[in-house]
Structure 1
Amino acid sequence: MPWSTRDTMSLREEFITLACQEGANRRELCRRFGISPQTGYKWLARFAQLGSLGLADVSRRPLHSP
């Protein structure tokens, strides 16, 4: 049995494609992909705002430091 070699971006794109379909159960998709609903809705919001560029990882580094 061959291993599934898929990168993070392709999994996120597949999640977005399935979640945008009519009548999709987004919470069930989150369970299937092994992510929290908060993360799933975050990806959907970023995709709606920035398109496929919004699915890339964003740095957690603070913009300002005291």
Structure 2
Amino acid sequence: MTTKIKGGSGRQFAFGSIDLNLIKVLYALAIKGNVTEAGNVLGLSQPTVSHALKRLNG
């Protein structure tokens, strides 16, 4: 099942296509405020977190 929601920019988001593991990265970024610290908390490198953020952005 795919749920589509229209975002503020006019883009539609298909929640069925989001890798839910990326939510952990987004949460760590929101809490820590920067990519390096989020990576440290998650045990990931900064480039890995940056790549995840890019995937979230679409």
TM range (shorter): 0.5 to 0.7
TM-score (normalizing by structure 2): 0.53
Q: Equivalent pairs: percent with the same residue? A: 17
Q: Which amino acid in 2 is paired with 1:14?
A: K
Which stretches in structure 2 are left out of the alignment for 5+ residues? 1-18
**As a proportion of its length, which structure holds more strand?**
2
Q: Give the number of aligned pairs.
A: 40
Equivalent of 1:28 in 33, 37, 54: 37
Aligned-pair CA distance for 1:23:
7.3
Note closer, same or farther for the CA distance 1:23–1:40 as it changes in structure 2 (3 Å cut): closer
Which stretches in structure 1 are left out of the alignment for 5+ residues? 1-8, 50-66
Which of 1 and 2 has higher RCO (CA within 8 Å, sep 6+)?
Answer: 1
Aligned-pair CA distance for 1:26:
1.7
Name the residue aligned to 1:12.
Answer: 22
CA RMSD of aligned residues (A): 2.3
Separation in 2, partners of 1:12, 1:22: 14
Name the residue aligned to 2:14.
Answer: none
Is residue 41 of structure 1 aligned with residue 50 of structure 2? yes
When Rg is computed on C-alpha atoms for both structures, the one with the higher figure is 1
Name the residue aligned to 1:61.
Answer: none
Note closer, same or farther for the CA distance 1:26–1:10 as it changes in structure 2 (3 Å cut): same
